[in-house]
Amino acid sequence: MRKVFHFDSAAESYVADAAVLCCFDHRISLATRKFLRKQGIHRPDMIVVAGGAKTLASPRNDFERDFILEQVRMSIRLHRTARVFLMSHSDCATYGGLAAFEGDGGREAAHHQDELRRGARLLQEQFPGLSVECFFVSFDGVAAVDLAVEDNEQIA
Ligand SMILES: [Zn+2]
């Protein structure tokens, strides 16, 4: 090998502030990073895949779901992660974009809220004691999903 870049990184081991499952869509990546910092998540274990929380809520197949669950398991085991942030976003291509909701942002948000809650339930079943928080990223910010209330209520 031949060194092609110099950069000094902290080498000591760490406890992850949270494992963050989010979509790889570049349009929301800056907002996501800024949001995490604002939440005090300075050392996230980022699990960045197409669809983000969809891989748990509505996976394309068992492999996809199991792979993501294994990533969460590894974050817990290797970095003593106690919190997971489940995230999805507006106009996500894996859901057919905003067009799949006829451009209705409210309907899209309601659908994502149900998806995020389903993903959270799966994580809580698989990892009792894990703290799970759900967020929907749109093009003007981030909304938190209240996991204590019933399905079909609007995102505040
Ligand atoms: Zn996406």
From the CA of 132, how far away is ligand 1's center (Å)?
A: 20
Rounded to an integer, what distance in angstroms lies between the CA atom of residue 21 and that of residue 46? 6
Pairing of strands 18-22, 44-48: parallel
From the CA of 48, how far away is ligand 1's center (Å)?
A: 10
Mean pLDDT of 130-136: 98
Looking at the DSSP bridge assignments, the partners of residue 84 are 19, 132
Percentage of the chain lying above the pLDDT 90 cut: 94
pTM equals 0.93
Per residue in 137-148, pLDDT (tens digit) is 999 999 999 998
Rounded to the nearest integer, the mean pLDDT of the chain is: 95
- Tokens representing residue 55 in the block: 């891989």
Helices (H) and strands (E) in the chain, counts: 4, 5
From the CA of 15, how far away is ligand 1's center (Å)?
A: 28
pLDDT at 5 over 90: yes
Query: pLDDT band at residue 151, thresholds of 50, 70 and 90?
Result: low
Mean pLDDT of 145-155: 70
From the CA of 22, how far away is ligand 1's center (Å)?
A: 8
From the CA of 52, how far away is ligand 1's center (Å)?
A: 7
| Cβ–Cβ < 8 Å for 143, 108 | no
From the CA of 100, how far away is ligand 1's center (Å)?
A: 13
Mean pLDDT of 11-18: 97
From the CA of 13, how far away is ligand 1's center (Å)?
A: 31
Query: pLDDT band at residue 152, thresholds of 50, 70 and 90?
Result: low
Mean pLDDT of 58-71: 97
From the CA of 50, how far away is ligand 1's center (Å)?
A: 6
Query: pLDDT band at residue 8, thresholds of 50, 70 and 90?
Result: very high
Which of 29-33, 47-51, 146-150 has the lowest average pLDDT? Answer: 146-150
Percentage of the chain lying above the pLDDT 70 cut: 95
